[in-house]
Amino acid sequence: MPHALVNFLALLGWSPGNDQEIISIQEMIEKFTLKRANKTSAQFNNIKLDWMNGQYIKNTPVEQLTQEVKGFFEKSGIDMTKITAAWLTNLVILYHERFKNFLDLQNQTRFFFADAIEYDQAAVGKFLKKEVAGELLKEVYTAVSQVDNFDKKTLEDSLRALTEKLGVGFSKLAQPMRVAITGKSVSAGIFETMELLGKEKTLSRLSYTVKNLCETSEAVRF
Neighbours of 111 (CB within 10 A): 20
Domains annotated on the chain, with CATH:
1-59 (1.10.1160.10), 61-113 (1.10.8), 121-212 (1.10.10.350)
The predicted pLDDT at position 130 comes to 79
User: What type of residue is 18?
Assistant: N
pLDDT in 10s for each residue of the chain, 222 residues: 999 999 999 999 898 888 889 999 999 999 998 888 888 888 899 999 999 999 999 999 999 999 999 999 999 999 999 999 999 999 999 999 999 999 999 999 999 999 999 999 999 999 998 778 999 999 999 999 999 999 999 999 999 999 999 999 998 999 999 999 999 999 999 999 999 999 999 999 999 999 999 875 454 444
Which positions ≥6 away from 158 have C-beta within 8 Å?
143, 144, 146, 147
What does the mean pLDDT of the chain come to? 92
The predicted pLDDT at position 216 comes to 57
Cα–Cα dist 72/77, whole Å: 9
pTM: 0.86
Neighbours of 177 (CB within 10 A): 28
The predicted pLDDT at position 219 comes to 42
Q: What helix, strand, coil percent values describe the chain, rounded to 5?
A: 65, 0, 35
Q: Which of 40, 104, 42, 41 is nearest to 69 (CA)?
A: 104
The predicted pLDDT at position 15 comes to 87
